[in-house]
Amino acid sequence: MIKVYFERVVPLTADPLWTAARLTQSGSPYVLYEDSSAISVALGAIAEVIVDPDTVQLRYRESETSTFWYDDPLPVVASMLDEIPMTGWRAYGWAAFELAQPQVGTGTLLHLVVPSQEVRLCAGVAVLRATTPAELDSLAALVSADVPEPSFAAVPVDVRQPDTYSDSVAAAVSEIQRGLLQKVILCRTVTVPDIDLVGTYVTGRRANTPARSYLLNLGGIEVAGFSPETVVGVNPDGRVHTQPLAGTRALTGDPEVDHTLRADLLTDPKEIFEHAISVRLAVDELTSLCTPGSVVVEEFMDVLERGTVQHLASRVAGTLPADRGPWDAFRALFPAITASGIPKAAAFESIRRHEPHRRGLYSGAVMTIDHTGSLDTALVLRSVFRRDGETWLCAGAGIVSQSDPAREFEETCEKLASVARFLVPTATAHPVPPQSSQSP
């Protein structure tokens, strides 16, 4: 039997950010996702699609099916989503960096959930969806509840902890100069004390200017982040776009200093080269996918301010042919050029040599996809992660032949500050709304 959502639109008088954040405390799993038009909150699960290194699982209500995959799991994912007997579905979730190289991946590679309850906050209203009238009533009460936002007290952490990052950068520069690759993004990890994830998200989002933001608890991992860029987006009409950011300077808040840094960014040969080759690869990837002649660079080498840094940014777009869909676009562009390297295969090998741990969700994607073919994916950067009692930050820098290890370390510190300045300790209490009833 085909199931439908019950829907209701209610006025929103409270702050959308705080309303969305506190709704995540009404149950799990949850995914909060902010795109350019709305803040959405997915609660509970009607269905889940999970990709492991050899199988794709579909969990729907009380049933579970599992299918082996071989060359590419994404066609199986698309097929399973289409099999869910739910009209108007919209899935939320994440993809690990290792999804791009599943033959060497471990652990879950992709996890999507079709929620039992959903809230979209935009233009002064909340659009509610739930699978039963009782759930809808409960959800409306949660959205309308008068819950004041606490005064969260952030405690910054030191991100200049000694490590071997500069040594890894020097080794990568040597590899590039020997012709093994053109560019690689290497990251460093900073362990931090446990935090109030909701408080950190609210505090950090108010201080950042992301392209996308997210707060989630799904598949055993919790993440709050303020993504500076998208990996790939697809509109229902088949228009596909990507937004590579490469080239970085600090954003201090002092207009005179920031103007000087911006001018330096726009004239630095290393930064311009790093950005240009990233845009070139984005054009190549879209050209291999899109209708001939449709790929264009809509914006080139603008400067975007993202939290504590400013980036060189471009936007490349094209049109999918009739026989291609959103998962084809995702396959072609994931992982982001600006989180992997050029060429990607050689960059993956360099990353495995120089990074001691699996990246997991860092430099992967948080995403939404729906029945119309609309896809939106945020690059997972500027984020704080929590899993199995551990909490950590990650940041990377683009390494090319002209890179200076000390400068690349400094760049990671500038990026880490976008999150590290806004960590709220777990001791900071905040009101939790009553539990809503959710379908299993």
Which residues are marked as active site? Answer: 229
Residue 149's CB is within 10 A of a number of other CB atoms, namely 16
R_g of the chain computed on alpha carbons: 21
Alpha carbon of residue 253 to chain centroid: 25
Residue 73's CB is within 10 A of a number of other CB atoms, namely 25
Cis peptide before 335 (omega within 30 of 0): yes
Pairing label, strands 110-114, 47-51:
antiparallel
CB-count burial class (<10 Å; 0-12, 13-18, 19+) for 48: buried
Residue linked to tokens 């396959």:
331
Helices (H), 116-222: 133-144, 165-177, 197-207
Contacts of 323 (CB under 8 A, 6+ apart): none
Q: Please report, as a single letter, which amino acid is at residue 113.
A: V
Cis peptide before 29 (omega within 30 of 0): yes
Residues 14 and 25 sit within 8 Å (Cβ to Cβ): no
Residue linked to tokens 């590419």:
72
Residue linked to tokens 């950590």:
392
Q: Which of 24, 355, 49 is nearest to 217 (CA)?
A: 24
Q: Greatest CA span in the chain, whole angstroms? A: 65
Name the E strands within 171-328.
Answer: 183-191, 212-218, 221-227, 230-234, 239-242, 245-250, 296-306, 309-319
